[in-house]
Amino acid sequence: MTTGKVYLIPTVLSADALYSIPPYVTEVARKLTVFYVENERTARRYLKALDRSINIDALQLLPMNENQLPDTEAAKKFLRQGIDIGVISEAGCPAVADPGHLIVRAAHTIEAPVIPMIGPNSMLLALMASGMNGQHFQFVGYLPIKPHERIKAIKELELQSQKKKQTQLFIETPYRNNQLLKDILDNCKEHTKVCVAADITGPEEFIRTKTVKEWKKALPELHKKPAIFLLDSE
């Protein structure tokens, strides 16, 4: 029997940006009955937005998040039975900065095909719009929560950027965005460039690149807005 496939299904970065999802994603979503999802409520709403005819109650939506890692043995069982699986992140492309990579890893162990699908990715969109080095960059995910550890991490990223001529990308929980930007501006050199990309593809999209010195003149309000930060100290 042919093994099932793992489809990495992109979702929106902003609830108002369904236009950013290619039509072929909907075609694939219609035929799947098993999904690993980071957030069940978000996934239900998203699938219904793709096509209202999808019977959400008939689907198996299996958890995949930091509190409950995906059941990879169950995933392999589905695939061995020839059942295709969809993987849906909370936002953007799955298996990047979320546990979806564990499903992908499991699929590779049994040589099941993995199909990455085109869709919005906040890291690439922010990098494209930042004007920073897109040839050499590093995504480091979330910075430490404790203030002294976070400040140390920011300084190390600035140093790496300078030494390696490398753009540094990182994210924060939306309600801590303002504090993170303050820590960046308080601890980086005035000539260091910082890009703030918030609500990408959304109605209040904000993408600006300025030096630390320039940012200090006027700060954006980022509280509870999905954002990604880029740092370039070449």
Average pLDDT, rounded, for the chain: 96
CATH superfamily of 122-232: Tetrapyrrole methylase, C-terminal domain (3.30.950.10)
Start-to-end Cα distance in the chain? 54
* Distances from the Cα of 96 to the Cα of 76, 117, 178, angstroms: 20, 13, 24
- Give 89-127 pLDDT, tens digit per residue: 999 999 998 899 999 999 999 999 999 999 999 999 999
pLDDT for the residue numbered 14: 93
Query: Domain-by-domain residue ranges, the chain?
Result: 6-116, 122-232
pLDDT for the residue numbered 31: 96
pLDDT for the residue numbered 81: 97
Who contacts 224 (Cβ-Cβ below 8 Å, separation ≥6)? 174, 175, 177
* Distances from the Cα of 226 to the Cα of 100, 161, 175, 196, angstroms: 20, 24, 9, 11
Whether the CB-CB separation of 122 and 15 falls below 8 Å is answered with no
pLDDT for the residue numbered 66: 84
- Give which of 105, 174, 165 is closest to 138, Cα–Cα: 165
| Residue 1 scores a pLDDT above 80 | no
6-116 CATH choice from 3.40.718.10, 3.40.50.12780, 3.40.1010.10, 1.10.645.10: 3.40.1010.10
3-state secondary structure the chain: CCCCCEEEECCCCCCCCHHHCCHHHHHHHHHCCEEEECCHHHHHHHHHHHCCCCCHHHCEEEECCCCCCCCHHHHHHHHHCCCCEEEECCCCCCCCCCCHHHHHHHHHHCCCCEEECCCCCHHHHHHHHHCCCCCCEEEEEECCCCHHHHHHHHHHHHHHHHHHCCEEEEECCHHHHHHHHHHHHHHCCCCCEEEEEECCCCCCCEEEEEEHHHHCCCCCCCCCCCEEEEEECC
52-67 average pLDDT score: 94
7-30 average pLDDT score: 96
pLDDT for the residue numbered 26: 97
- Give 163-191 pLDDT, tens digit per residue: 999 999 999 999 999 999 999 999 999 99
Q: Which residues pair with 198 in a beta bridge?
A: 206, 227
- Give 126-142 pLDDT, tens digit per residue: 999 999 999 999 999 99
Distance between CA atoms of 52 and 35, rounded to whole angstroms?
17
Q: Give CA torsion, residues 216, 228, 224, 25, to 10 deg.
A: 150
The answer to pTM > 0.85 is yes
pLDDT for the residue numbered 234: 80
Share of the chain above pLDDT 70, in %: 100
203-207 average pLDDT score: 96
| Residue 205 scores a pLDDT above 90 | yes
pLDDT for the residue numbered 92: 95
